[in-house]
Amino acid sequence: MLLLAISGSLRRDSLNRRLLRAAAAHLPRGARFELLEGLEALPAYDEALDIEPAPEPVRWLRGAIDAADAVVIASPEYNASIPGALKNALDWASRPFPDNCLRGKPVAVVGASTGLFGAVWAHADLRRVLRVIGADVVDAELSVPRADTAFADGGDLRDPALAHALRTVVARMVERVDDRAA
């Protein structure tokens, strides 16, 4: 099983990348984890550019998603919604519609924020966009508030309830992948 992890934050050591790495620790033995890098290289979505062959960064994005068995997206909240670079990536991944690389793909949404609500508005928007694209959105969720103090030195979540919720999200994604393979 290959789990592709996408961070909505472009910062190299963001809290959401830390959350993705913590999720990777709960994958079953033999599963592979790949953190997608390079969202900033994608051009702004432009229908005039959405032709074959697609621009190289777009082919790379679509290929990485297509090769994955499941996707986990960890996103902060910018202005009460999805960060622009992440939304742009989803716009590119949603084409060609309806046979895009996310169609039917198990996708989980998690996220971390320094605020009190853990980016819940962005996550709700993200789930809505993913459903419209045709992704198989996993029904487990995790929002980590006050994330600047949420991680232990080893990378795990300090709060046992949040750690349990993260394990649940990963387990539900693995179940979805196994169900699809059966």
Rounded to the nearest 5°, which phi and psi values hold at 151?
-105, 140
Which percentage of the chain shows pLDDT scores above 90? 95
Would you say residue 177 has pLDDT above 90? yes
pTM over 0.75: yes
- Give, rounded to a whole angstrom, the gap between the first and last alpha carbons of the chain: 13
What average pLDDT does this structure show over 156-171? 97
For tokens 């084409």, the residue is 95
Would you say residue 2 has pLDDT above 90? yes
Would you say residue 70 has pLDDT above 90? yes
pLDDT confidence bin for 26, thresholds 50/70/90: very high
What average pLDDT does this structure show over 140-155? 95
Listing DSSP states for 62-109 in one string gives HHHHHH-SEEEEE---BTTB--HHHHHHHHHHT-SSSS-TTTT-EEEE
Would you say residue 27 has pLDDT above 90? yes
pLDDT confidence bin for 144, thresholds 50/70/90: very high
Give tens-digit pLDDT for 98-128: 899 999 999 999 999 999 988 999 999 999 9
Within 13 A of 89's CA, how many CA atoms are on the CB side?
27
Q: Which residues pair with 108 in a beta bridge?
A: 72
Domains of the chain: 2-181 (3.40.50.360)
